[in-house]
Structure 1
Amino acid sequence: MKAINLNEDQKAVLLKETKDLYFAAQQLHERIKEDKLAQDMSKTLPSLIESYFASIAKLLNYESHLTKEHEERYVEIRKANQRAQDLERQLASSKPIDGLAEQLEGLRKIVYDWWKEEGFRHVSEIGYTGHGSMKVEFSFMLSSGDSSLLCDNPVTDARNKAKKIQQLIDRGFDLEPESENSRSWDVLDTENNRRLLTNMLFQRFPSIVIAKIESWNKGRKIRSDKWTIWRLETYIHDLRDIPGEEQ
C-alpha cells in the first residue's frame, strides 16, 4: 500500500501530537491501573487525548464523528470567549474593584516564587483568561554559572544555583549540560521528566490542565536524537489552588 506524502512540517507536527497523545493516554492508563484516577483528571486527560486526536485527524484529512463534534464544540467555545471578552471590557470601563489588582498580583507572585523555589527559575508568562483561569507558561533557566556582578552575593548565589540543579538530579530529573563545558543545563524531553513535571504540577495545583509541552532538538544545527523541554503551557482553573499552604 502506498504511503501518504507528508512534508517536513506536517511530519514534525504529527510526531509531536502523537507523542503528546501517547503521553496523555499513558498517564490515564497508569492512574486507572494504580487506582489513582482523581475526579478532575478523569475529565482532563480524556479532554487532552481528544484534542490531540482531533489535531492528528485534521492533518491526516480524516473526519470522524468525534472530530466533527470537536469542531462544533470549538465554535461554541469561541462564542463563549467572545461573550467573556465583552463582559471583561464592560467591567474594565466601570469602577475598579478595590483590592482586586493586588490580589491577582499576589497570586502571580505565589506561582512564580514556587517555580523558582523548585529550581526551574523562569516563568515566561502569567496572565488571566476570560473565564477566570490563570494561564501560566512554565519555562526553565537552569545555570550553575557565576551570577551577575550586580548581585550582592554572586559566589553564594552561584553555589545555591548549583545546589538546586543537584537537588533536581537527586529527585530523578534527567538533566544534561546545554553543551560541552557549559554551565547551563537542559531538561531533557523524556517520559520520565514529563511524568515528574506532570505529577509535580498536579500535586501543587489540582485543577491545572497542561495544554502543551513544547520541546526543541538539542542538536540545534546538527541532527540529534535528544530533545529538551523548554516550555509548558498550563491553565489553573481554580484560583483557590494557588495560595496552598500560604493561605
Structure 2
Amino acid sequence: MLPPNAADATVAATAVAEDAAPVVVDRREGPYGEVVLRRRGRHFEIIANGCFLMDTRDGRSERLLVRAALEELPEGTAAPSVLIGGLGVGFSLAEAAAEPRWGAISVVEREDAVVDWHRAGHLAPFSAGALDDPRTRIVRADLLEHLAGAGEGYDALCLDIDNGPDWTVTEGNTGLYGPAGLAACRARLNPGGVLAVWSAKPSEAFEERLRRAGFSRVRSLPVEVSRGVPDVVHLAVNG
C-alpha cells in the first residue's frame, strides 16, 4: 500500500491528467461533416462538427440502455436479436456481447472513422473485443435509412444517436425522434419488442411522442451524473 502522501500525489496527478488539454488523435472529414477523436489524459472523446458527443469516462447509461431493453422483453424470449444504433465508444456493444442471452447483435454506425478507431486499437479496450464476437454484425449505414428500409425484425432497438431527442448536433438525426422515425422503429420491431433510447436529459415531450406513435409501457430510467441533469434511458414496448 502506498503511504498517504504518495496516494494523495497519485490522485492529484490523475486529476491533473484528466483536466489536461485534449490531444487530437485522428480527424476525419466525411459525408456528415467532421469527426474527431481526442485524448484527454487516459480518456478519449468523440467530437462531431465541433460539438462534444461522448467520452470514455462513464459508460453506466450506455450499458443500461442494453441491459434494460433485455429485462423489458417478454419472459421466455429465446435468443433475442438486438440492433444497437451508434457504435460510439463501444460501451453498449460490450454490454450486449457480455450477455450470452442475446442472439444476433447488429450495430449500425455511419461513420467509418468510428469503426476504424475500434479496429485500430484506440477504442478497442472499451468495446472489449465485441466486434469479433460471432454474433456481432457491423452495418455501415445511416440508422434512419436502415430502419426505413426492408429487412429483418428485431426484438430490441437500443439507440444512442447524437445527444438524444431534444438536442441533436447533426440536423438529419432529428427525424429519428419524430413521427416518421418512430414509425420506422415500430415497423422493424417484432411484436412485444423493446425500444430503448439514450438521452442526455429527460424529455417528457419525447415520452408523449412515443405514446402517440403507438408504443406502450413508456417509462424513463435516470442515471445521475456528477454535474448537470441526469442521463436518461427511455423505454417503450411495441404493442
Task: Give the TM-score normalised by the residue count of structure 2.
Answer: 0.26
* Structure that is richer in helix per residue: 1
Task: Give the TM-score normalised by the residue count of structure 1.
Answer: 0.26
* Structure that is richer in strand per residue: 2
